[in-house]
Amino acid sequence: MNAVTANRYTDAWRTFFTPLRPRAAIVISAHWYVGGTRVTVQAQPRTVHDFVSSKGALDRFDYPAPGDVALAHRVRDLLAPTPVTLDERWGYDHGAWVVLAHAFPNADVPVIELSLDRTQPPAFHYALTRALDPLRDEGVVLIGSGNIIHNLEIGRGPGSDAPMDWAPRFAADVHRRLERGDHAGLIAYDRLGRDAQLAVPTPDHYLPFLSILGAQRDGERLTTIVDGDRGAYDLGMLSFAIQ
Amino acid sequence: MIAAAALADELADLEAIFDDALATVMPNPVALRFSDLPLDFQGKRDLVFALALLAEGENEAALIAGLAHDALVRDPAFDVAHLVREAWYYVRTSIDPNWQFDDPPASFGPALTYVGTLLRERVAAATRPAKTPSDEPGADARRALLARLR
């Protein structure tokens, strides 16, 4: 419901993005997790309602920002030799528009989406965005939309009322590693023990984090837009920026 | 290391079960041959899922195995360990959402056999005249089945 309601997370996103006037945005969303690297290439992407319908406001939500065909081609060229498919079918999935609706509420910043290749290991996603570095000097902002903690399964079954003390522990571990620049440890999250296994049971929501981390230049600062501390909860909301 | 050819055999078996499931369950007044339609494995998955013959996690496991197979065809040395782990996670949490940890090594073979077994059972149940709640075994029985296939 972050798209249609205001809360401390969406307020923080809005405050952070308002002074920025990027020429365009590239969004890497947890919800475009497919068997290859793809980039949206439409002049006017559709709004994708990729969730179980609630017949409510989310189903009617439309994010009418234009795409950027030239930027999509540029991304494909920069990512070579990684094969990139120019995709005319996907659009803005809810991982993208939930954030975009607050980052650029007037929908006046062209946006393209870059998929996550689920066949590739975490290190691939970390390395891929480094190739997009020249675009950052051309006014293009990279946005990763996912969750460092995302385990909705564990909240469903019998015994789901057990304390999720692993969530704040893992969040603190991620914070510590970010502060000391331990990217290698964050890439190899599957070796960080059971807290990490519970926080990142599948890679999809975690990989956008690595994609953005991979774009960090030497000496760049990492700032927290809003901390994700929700206590012992199965979904983390940490948002950070690299500038 | 997983060989593409072995995974291809396991996927072919599962795909045949998908074809049988669709042929049995789908209303098909013009007698379409689903195995001849230009549906790739993903398309059949979508149909089987839409017909509620497989749950999301079971379906994901089949999809991931297909992606791993494609990756291995492109590069036989491609490391698909992360895909095996993800597929296995989806299978076991489809049985019990709290089954979060599983220490023995995972593999595609038992996961795909398990999904195929479920699909056959559910098609059989769907075509029986009267369905009863007892048609669908509980989590303990499912867990035991997956353990046996391993």
Residue of B nearest to A189 (CA): B82
The CA dihedral of A64, A65, A69, A74, to the nearest 10 degrees, is -150
Fold of A8-242: Protocatechuate 4,5-dioxygenase; Chain B (3.40.830)
ipTM tops the 0.90 cut? no
Task: State the residue range of the domain holding B93.
Answer: 4-149
Tens-digit pLDDT string for chain A (243 aa): 566 678 888 999 999 999 998 999 999 999 999 999 999 999 999 999 887 666 677 788 899 999 999 999 999 999 999 999 999 999 999 999 999 999 999 999 999 999 999 999 999 999 999 999 999 999 999 999 999 999 888 866 666 666 688 888 999 999 899 989 999 999 999 999 999 999 999 999 999 999 999 999 999 988 888 886 665 577 788 888 988
Measuring CA to CA, how many Å separate A151 from each of A110, A145, A198, A203?
A: 32, 16, 7, 11
- Three-state SS for A164-233 is CCHHHHHHHHHHHHHHCCCHHHHHCHHHCCHHHHHHCCCCCCCHHHHHHHCCCCCCCCEEEEECCCCCCC
Q: What is the pLDDT of residue A148?
A: 92
Q: What is the pLDDT of residue B26?
A: 75
Domain count, chain B: 1
Q: What is the pLDDT of residue A55?
A: 65
A203–B86: do the CB atoms touch at under 8 Å?
yes
* Residues, chain A: 243
Residue of B nearest to A156 (CA): B97
Q: What is the pLDDT of residue B132?
A: 60
pLDDT per residue over B21-60, tens digit each? 888 887 665 555 555 555 555 677 777 888 889 998 999 9
Average model confidence (pLDDT) for chain B? 84
Q: Looking at the complex, does the CB of residue A198 fall below 8 Å from at least one CB of chain B?
A: yes
Handedness of CA A84, A112, A34, A207 (dihedral sign): positive
Residue B67 has its nearest CB partner, among A119, A122, A154, at A119
Q: What is the pLDDT of residue A81?
A: 96
All residues of chain A having their beta carbon less than 8 Å from the beta carbon of residue B100 are 151, 153-154, 197-198, 201
Domains of chain A, by residue range, sit at: 8-242
A201–B98: do the CB atoms touch at under 8 Å?
no
Residue of B nearest to A202 (CA): B86
Structure-block tokens of residue A133? 């570095």
Q: Kindly report the nearest CA distance between residue B116 and chain A, in angstroms.
A: 22
